[in-house]
Amino acid sequence: MLTNVAVLAYEGVAPFELGVLCEAFGLDRSENGVPRLDFAVCAADAKPIRTSMGFSIQVDEGLDRVASADLVAVPAMPRGGVAPEPIRDALLAAYERGARILSVCSGAFTLGALGLLDGRECTTHWMFTDELQRRFPLARVIPEVLYVDSGQVVTSAGSAAGLDAALHIWRQEHGASVASMVARRAVVPPHRDGGQAQYIARAVPACDAETLGPLLLWILENLTEDHGVETLARRVHMSPRTFARRFRDETGSTPHNWVTRQRVAAAEELLETSEQPVEWIAAEVGFANAAILRHHFTRTRGVSPQQYRRTFCPSPGRAVVEAG
């Protein structure tokens, strides 16, 4: 179980991607029921580190700290540079003792230079996937994905995709409700739309709806109710036509598609946290029958409910997450 995280930093580190890892694993969310991790940013020495944005940071923890980490993370680094030898040694030692390795964005190039991507499916920022494949031909680079979990090594795409990968790891290690709370505290969508198959637990959706916010919350709390356009329009005292237009303006989706996504997300959590049959789960989240749940689940997540359950209950497996 994940309890200890170390992030490696050296000259040229990208501050945003470093901040993503600090946000994902370094904040104390124990008051919200999230396990507090032993977290540190580590460097080869006590000298200030110049970032890719031109300012410097001071890192107090040394590389000895890496030896106890369950997860060692590499933020975005200069693609053409070579990591200092002490960084390389610490990363290889962590891998050899079985620690999990995570890279964000161009951090994948650091892993590739050490041979950690050889024979593995992996990814990086979409602008650099061709370069990653060319430089490390033994890697199996998958472009246009948010992250790839190939077991001991997890690689993510550019910048904010590091949060998607981190939430995936939280979910694998500590379950759906914990990953959901981390997403909510970070104020990020718990599920990205666009055909991805990512496995992030249900939470209140990120939505800046000016007038429909209370209705969206009511829908989430009453998924088994009739959520047709006419029924929902009556609840907010609008004509169906005005309501449908306002709903799309404020959520970017039709009412039917939005409700379907929330039902699928609710089914995800029940598949992971309960042993109830798919037929029961379908009724619990508002689908008419198991066949309809299977249709929508497979279409939006890329796997069937049964495959999803086998992946995350009881033991997680590999996941490849398609980007938009």
**Ordered domains of the chain (ranges, CATH):** 4-185 (3.40.50.880), 213-302 (1.10.10.60)
pLDDT score, position 275 = 86
Could you tell me the pLDDT band of residue 312, with boundaries at 50, 70 and 90? low
pLDDT score, position 301 = 81
Could you tell me the pLDDT band of residue 98, with boundaries at 50, 70 and 90? very high
**Residue 189 above 70 pLDDT?**
no
Lowest mean pLDDT of 28-32, 69-73, 226-230, 312-316, name the range: 312-316
Q: Which two tokens stand for residue 173?
A: 């290690």
pLDDT score, position 318 = 41
Q: DSSP string covering 90-138, please?
A: HHHHHHHTT-EEEE-TTHHHHHHHTTTTTT-EE---GGGHHHHHHH-TT
Residue type, 86: P
Q: Which two tokens stand for residue 305?
A: 């409910």
Please confirm whether the linkage preceding 314 is cis (ω < 30° from 0). Answer: yes
Could you tell me the pLDDT band of residue 171, with boundaries at 50, 70 and 90? confident
Choose from 69-78, 164-173, 181-190, 242-251 the range with maximum mean pLDDT: 69-78
pTM, full prediction: 0.65
